[in-house]
Amino acid sequence: MKLIILGGGFGGLRLARNLSNKPGFEITLIDKFNFHQFQPLFYQVATAGLDASNISFPLRKVFHNSKNISFRMAEVQQIVADKNKVVTSIGDFEYDALVIATGADTNFFGNQNLMNHAMPMKSTLEALQLRYKLLQNFETAITTKDEQTLQQLMNIVVVGGGPTGVELSGAIADMKKYVLPKDYPELDFTQMKIYLLEGTGKTLSNMSEKSSAESQRYLENLGVTVLTNALLQDYDGEKITLKDGKTIATKMVIWAAGIKGNVPQGIDKDLIARGNRIKIDRQCKVTGSNNIFAIGDVAYMEEPAWPNGHPQVAPVATQMADMIANNLRSIEMKSNKKALTEFVYHDKGSMATVGRNLAVVDIPKPKLHFKGFFAWMIWMGLHLMLILGVKNRFFVFSNWLYNYFTYDQNLRLIFKEVDKKKVEQTNS
């Protein structure tokens, strides 16, 4: 079976590893990056807590011992379903079965001003760009004489009160408390304002009431101004305007308020559900297809317990990958002894960290809730286990240990793009 997997995220990588060295499969994994990105820790890269290499792992290295898996770094341009072909930036690939695991990207909901001025954080590169702008704003603030411009540079607005927004706000608040006053003694950080805007009535709305209330209380204790039922209407690069007419002066808006599936060209528009996700059946087959599957953030499946689709989180993608791996093996072996498995999502819980020694954890079965330092330790332990590679785990743990005892991060580096013309002039 010629199997093509589009995307090396949690789902795509899990599927490829499950079928590694399994007889009967010739697998091609295609991704626009040559590395796997550990998305839950993007915010720590953005706030100088971790280096980008700590949460990234080369995809080719994953499959050093796999005899049936090839990796190709390419942009997917189109899926030609009637010809069982994927068109990419490096050529065409034919398949017997195709799995779309392209994940999701930032959803600005069509607001062009937000696209132009707000900072997204859905890739390692975007997390690094966010870090550079965050630090560069303080460098600029040192020499700024105009009070209004100074306040704009020191105000930070995070839009979206989900796990990403909560974790990022808390990390920036920790930087304000422990790091930035030492780096920039010329600035008065009592004037720095951190805002978290959430369109619903509470933060972490997908978690328990306790977690929502505790996360907001933790953030407010850290000095974050949490504004619930606050809908952002526009942002021009210097101030945001809310639906109720209120404005906040800022040159730094971080957008964590929405995601949309990365649907490749060639998928029928009638198969696209809310959130730009591909409609699939209970076996993860794209509606109307027998050999095209979709998993993870890009897939939309309804099951009795999840009538509005599954949450766009890593466990959904990995559980779908496990099921598809078993089903594909049954198909490849032409086994008629048992019916193909239908997907049932097993929610093992959710968690979010808010700041130093602060986190919330919800476990549905048995129904348990943890908060504070113990929850923070659970959060760190689980994320450490999920990171790919022993070396990466070691460096992440070392950084966390160093940060914890020194109250400092040592990765506050601003890399600027090299002016090629100046380099050429210097060389000549």
Within its chain, how far is the Cα of 104 from the centroid? 8
Domain boundary among the residues 313, 332, 351 is at 332
Residue 284, domain member (yes or no): yes
Q: pLDDT band at residue 222, thresholds of 50, 70 and 90?
A: very high
Tens-place pLDDT, residues 233-264:
999 999 999 999 999 999 999 999 989 999 99
pLDDT at 34: 95
pTM of the model: 0.91
> Both tokens of residue 373?
């330092």
What does the DSSP 8-state code read for residue 286? B
> Both tokens of residue 61?
């290295």
H or E element that contains 43: helix 42-46
pLDDT at 424: 55
Cα–Cα distance, 303 to 343 (Å, whole number): 8
Residue 222, domain member (yes or no): yes
Residue 337, pLDDT above cutoff 60: no
Cα–Cα distance, 223 to 211 (Å, whole number): 18
One domain for residues 137 and 246:
yes
Residues of the chain with pLDDT > 90, as a percent, come to 87
Higher per-residue confidence, 161 vs 413: 161
One domain for residues 147 and 227:
yes
Within its chain, how far is the Cα of 188 from the centroid? 33
One domain for residues 165 and 245:
yes
Domain boundary among the residues 226, 257, 288 is at 257
Tens-place pLDDT, residues 69-92:
999 999 999 999 999 999 999 999
> Both tokens of residue 4?
């093509």
> For the chain, what is the mean pLDDT?
92
Residue 33, pLDDT above cutoff 70: yes
> Both tokens of residue 62?
């994953």
- Check if the beta carbon of residue 196 is closer than 8 Å to that of residue 227: yes
Tens-place pLDDT, residues 180-209:
999 999 999 999 999 999 999 999 999 999
- Check if the beta carbon of residue 159 is closer than 8 Å to that of residue 257: yes
Cα–Cα distance, 408 to 426 (Å, whole number): 38
Higher per-residue confidence, 179 vs 337: 179
Overall average pLDDT of the 64-69 stretch: 95
Domain boundary among the residues 215, 237, 257 is at 257
Tens-place pLDDT, residues 158-182:
999 999 999 999 999 999 999 999 9
Q: Residue holding tokens 């330790």?
A: 377
Q: pLDDT band at residue 338, thresholds of 50, 70 and 90?
A: low
Pairing status of strand 224-228 against strand 194-198: parallel
Q: Residue holding tokens 């239908």?
A: 342
Q: Residue 266 belongs to what domain range? A: 2-32+74-106+259-332
How far, in Å, are 19, 52, 331, 332 from residue 24 at the CA level?
10, 37, 10, 7
pLDDT at 182: 94
Q: Check which CATH number belongs to the domain holding 206 and give it.
A: 3.50.50.100
Give the three-class secondary structure for 381: helix
Tens-place pLDDT, residues 123-146:
999 999 999 999 999 999 999 999
Cα–Cα distance, 30 to 93 (Å, whole number): 10
Q: pLDDT band at residue 423, thresholds of 50, 70 and 90?
A: very low
pLDDT at 340: 85
